[in-house]
Amino acid sequence: MIDLWGGCAIVCALSALGTWAARGYALRRQLVDQPGERRSHQVATPRGGGMAIVGALLVAVAWALWQWPVQRLPMAGAAAGFALVAGIGWWDDHRPLSARWRLLVHLLAAAGWSLLVWHLGGQVWMGVLAGLFAVGLVNVWNFMDGINGLAVTQAMLAAVAYAWVLPVPLSWLGWALAAACLGFLPFNFPRARIFLGDGGSGGLGFALAVLFGLGLVAGLGPWSLWLPLGTFLVDAGFTLAARMLSGQRWWEPHAQHVYQRLARRFGHAPVTLGYAVFSGIAIALFFRLQALQPRWEAVGSIVWLVVASTIWLLLRKGLRDH
């Protein structure tokens, strides 16, 4: 039998080999992102490497379906939604689709996952929250995938956090996601030789929403369950709100996130590492809060939200003034 670390090593290797193959494929098909005003990179770079993460994770899920038959329903349901979101993103990487069609598929995948979480957890609010996070995280990871290594390191850290607290065998999905991200990372950081693409970024967002939903089903403290995702949620959420309040066409591509402004001043690697440190602190708090009573868990989560929001506002103001 393959142990946890052996399984992670296989998933990591599959992801790395798949990313290498995806880069060659993207170059042959001219699937390349060009530099531009709304982009943070300076040289033409192939895209679509995130499908290697998708493929490796689906292999991991297939193995889990065989290994733990009792968990076939949540794992098969998660894999179906994950493949749907990644598939429409892969299509969009090849032949750009309208936002309407992409959103329709995202909503379909989220609705399926929402109903499954409702069924597994027995609570309507769990299903609703899981569905909202599915739609939200798919788009958040797409919005925040703009500099080298950022989206994949944030996904890897969050996956480890959830894997650490989820019961076996559900925790395998978190470890497998982290291992798949690790296999992709050397191709994307510190120098990007390939980007995730919409299929990869959307797939990561949905996979993390699955781990969030499984956390609800497993009875983890719901007040702090968002913390491993909080760094991205705060930057994406407040930037979106600011654009909407200022009357901008908020659905269009832009370079107004705090991470993008920081990257223009300090470079990609320092910002990616800085965001990783900040997420590491949030994850440490997440572990601590999971052991507290619900009211103190809620208080701790609200305090962290206030702190993170204040830091975002100060950074945004400082970067605008200089």
In sequence order, what are the residues at sequence separation of 6 or more whose Cβ sits closer than 8 angstroms to the Cβ of residue 39?
33, 146, 255
pLDDT band, residue 157 (cuts 50/70/90): very high
pLDDT value, residue 37:
58
* Block residue for tokens 């200022």: 246
List alpha helices for 185-267, DSSP H. 197-217, 230-245, 258-266
Statement: residue 16 has pLDDT above 90: yes
Name beta bridge partners: 45.
33
Calpha distance 85→199 (Å, rounded):
7
Residue 267 Ramachandran class (φ > 0 left, ψ -120 to 50 alpha, else beta) = left
Per the structure, the count of domains in the chain is 1
Q: Is 148 annotated as a binding residue?
A: no
User: Which residue type is seen at 267?
Assistant: G
pTM: 0.95
Nearest to 232 by CA among 300, 317, 297, 147: 147
Longest dimension (CA), the chain: 58
Cis preceding-peptide flag for 74 (omega within 30 of 0): no
pLDDT (mean) for 21-48: 83
Question: Tell me, what's the pLDDT at 124?
Answer: 96
What is the predicted pLDDT for the residue at 247? 79
Which run of H or E residues covers position 45? strand 45-46
Instruction: Report which of 214, 189, 227, 218 is spatially closest to residue 303, judged by C-alpha positions.
Output: 227
**Inter-residue contact 175 to 8 (CB < 8 Å):** yes
Contact in structure between 178 and 164 (CB atoms under 8 Å): no
For residue 68, how many other CB atoms are within 10 A of its CB?
A: 14
8-state DSSP, 187: G
Predicted local distance difference test score (pLDDT) of residue 321: 47
Q: Is 198 annotated as a binding residue?
A: yes
Percent of the chain exceeding pLDDT 70 equals: 96
51 versus 321: the higher-pLDDT residue is 51
Is pLDDT above 50 for 233?
yes
User: CB–CB of 198/93 below 8 Å?
Assistant: yes
Cβ atoms within 10 A of the Cβ of 291, count? 9
Quote the domain boundaries for residue 185: 4-321
Peptide linkage before 96 cis (omega within 30 of 0): no
Is residue 220 within 8 A of residue 301, CB to CB? The reply is no
